[in-house]
Amino acid sequence: MSATLIYTVITISAIGAASAVILYFVARKFFVFEDPRIEEVENELPSANCGGCGFAGCHAFAEAIVTSGNLEGKYCPVGGSNVMAKVAGVMKLEALEQTPRVAVLRCNGTCEFRPKTTNYEGAKTCAIAAMNFSGETGCQFGCLGFADCVNVCQFDALHMNPSTGLPEVDDDKCTACGACVKACPKFLFELRKKAPKNRKIYVACRNTEKGAVAKKSCEVACIGCGKCEKECAYEAITIENNLAFIDSDKCKLCRKCVAVCPTNSIIETNFPPRKEKITENASTEKVDA
Amino acid sequence: MLKTFKIGGVHPAENKISAGKPIKDLPIPNEVKIMVSQHIGAPSKALVKKGDEVKVGQLIAQSAGFVSTNIHSPVSGKVVKIDQITDTSGFKKEAIIIETNGDEWDESIDRSDALIHETTLDGKAIVEKISSAGIVGLGGATFPTHVKLLPPPGAKADVLIINGVECEPYLSADHRLMLEKGDEILIGTRLLMKALNVDKAYIGIENNKPDAIENLTQKALRHQGISVVPLKVKYPQGGEKQLIKAITGREVPSGALPINVGAVVNNVGTAFAVYEAVMKNKPLIERIVSVTGKTIKEPSNYRVRIGTPVNNLLEAAGGIPENAGKIISGGPMMGKAVTSTDIPVTKGTSGILIMDEKESHRKEIENCIRCGRCVSACPMGLEPFLMMPLVENNDWERCEKEMITDCIECGSCSFTCPANRPLLDYIRFGKASVTKIIRTRKEK
> CB of A143 within 8 A of CB of A166?
yes
- Give the pLDDT band (50/70/90) at residue A51: confident
The CA-based angle B46-B47-B51, given to 5 degrees, is: 100
Interface test with B, best of A117, A136, A140 (most B CBs within 10 A): A140
**B34 membership: H or E segment, kind and range:** strand B31-35
A117, A123, A134 ranked by CB distance to B422: nearest: A123
Whether A278 has a pLDDT exceeding 60, the answer reads no
The region that residue A215 occupies, defined by phi over 0 for left and psi between -120 and 50 for alpha, beta otherwise, is alpha
User: Using a CB-CB distance cutoff of 8 angstroms, which residues of chain B are in contact with residue A216?
Assistant: none
pLDDT of residue B95: 93
- Give the pLDDT band (50/70/90) at residue A288: very low
Q: Which amino acid is at A115?
A: P
Interface test with B, best of A114, A126, A131, A148 (most B CBs within 10 A): A131
**B279 membership: H or E segment, kind and range:** helix B268-279
pLDDT of residue A276: 58
Q: Which residues of B touch A (CB under 8 A)?
A: 84, 86, 89-92, 336-337, 339-340, 361-362, 422, 425-426, 428-429, 432
- Complex confidence, ipTM: 0.85
pLDDT of residue A272: 87
Contact B362 A209 (CB under 8 A): no
Contact B90 A127 (CB under 8 A): no
Q: For residue A49, with 0-12 CB atoms within 10 Å meaning exposed, 13-18 middle and 19 or more buried, which class applies?
A: middle
- Give the pLDDT band (50/70/90) at residue A286: very low
User: Using a CB-CB distance cutoff of 8 angstroms, which residues of chain B are in contact with residue A123?
Assistant: 422, 425-426, 429
Whether A1 has a pLDDT exceeding 90, the answer reads no
pLDDT of residue A277: 53
- Give the pLDDT band (50/70/90) at residue A147: very high
> Rounded to whole angstroms, what are the CA distances from B420 to B298, B359, B373, B415?
32, 14, 12, 8
pLDDT of residue B52: 92
Mean pLDDT of A259-269: 91
A128, A133, A209 ranked by CB distance to B89: nearest: A133
pLDDT of residue B410: 94
> CB of B234 within 8 A of CB of B7?
no
Q: Does A241 touch chain B (CB under 8 A)?
A: no
Contact B429 A135 (CB under 8 A): no
A118, A121, A131 ranked by CB distance to B429: nearest: A131
**Which range has the worst mean pLDDT, A58-62, A273-277, B132-136, B357-361?**
A273-277
How close does chain A come to B358, measured CA to CA in Å? 13
User: Using a CB-CB distance cutoff of 8 angstroms, which residues of chain B are in contact with residue A118?
Assistant: 90, 337, 339
pLDDT of residue A79: 86
String of DSSP letters for chain A: -HHHHHHHHHHHHHHHHHHHHHHHHHHHHT-----HHHHHHHHHS------TTSSSSHHHHHHHHHHH---TT---TTTHHHHHHHHHHHHT-PPPP---EEEEE-----TTTS-B-S---S-S-HHHHHHH-S-SBS-SSS---S-HHHHH-SSS-EEEETTTTEEEE-TTT-----HHHHH-TT--EEEEEPPGGG-EEEE-----S-HHHHHHH-TT------HHHHH-SSS-EEEETTEEEE-TTT-----HHHHH-TT--EEEESPPPPPHHHHHHHHHHHHH-
Contact B422 A118 (CB under 8 A): no
Calculate the average pLDDT of chain B. 92
- Give the pLDDT band (50/70/90) at residue A285: very low
User: Using a CB-CB distance cutoff of 8 angstroms, which residues of chain B are in contact with residue A121?
Assistant: 361-362
> CB of A190 within 8 A of CB of A114?
no
Mean pLDDT of A195-219: 90
> CB of B353 within 8 A of CB of B321?
no
Contact A134 B426 (CB under 8 A): no
Closest CA to A165 of A111, A117, A124: A111
User: Using a CB-CB distance cutoff of 8 angstroms, which residues of chain B are in contact with residue A242?
Assistant: none
Q: Could you say which residues of chain B have pLDDT below 50?
A: none
pLDDT of residue A282: 47
pLDDT of residue B324: 87
Contact B89 A128 (CB under 8 A): no
Contact A133 B362 (CB under 8 A): no
> Rounded to whole angstroms, what are the CA distances from B347 to A70, B228, B236?
58, 26, 21
From CA B241, how far away is CA B251, in angstroms rounded? 7
pLDDT digits (tens, 9 = 90+) for A63-79: 999 998 888 888 888 88
Contact B425 A134 (CB under 8 A): no
From CA B188, how far away is CA B201, in angstroms rounded? 11
Beta strand B226-231 with B201-206: parallel, antiparallel or unpaired? Answer: parallel
Mean pLDDT of A129-138: 88
B91, B425, B429 ranked by CB distance to A140: nearest: B91
pLDDT digits (tens, 9 = 90+) for A236-252: 999 999 999 999 889 99
- Give the pLDDT band (50/70/90) at residue A138: confident
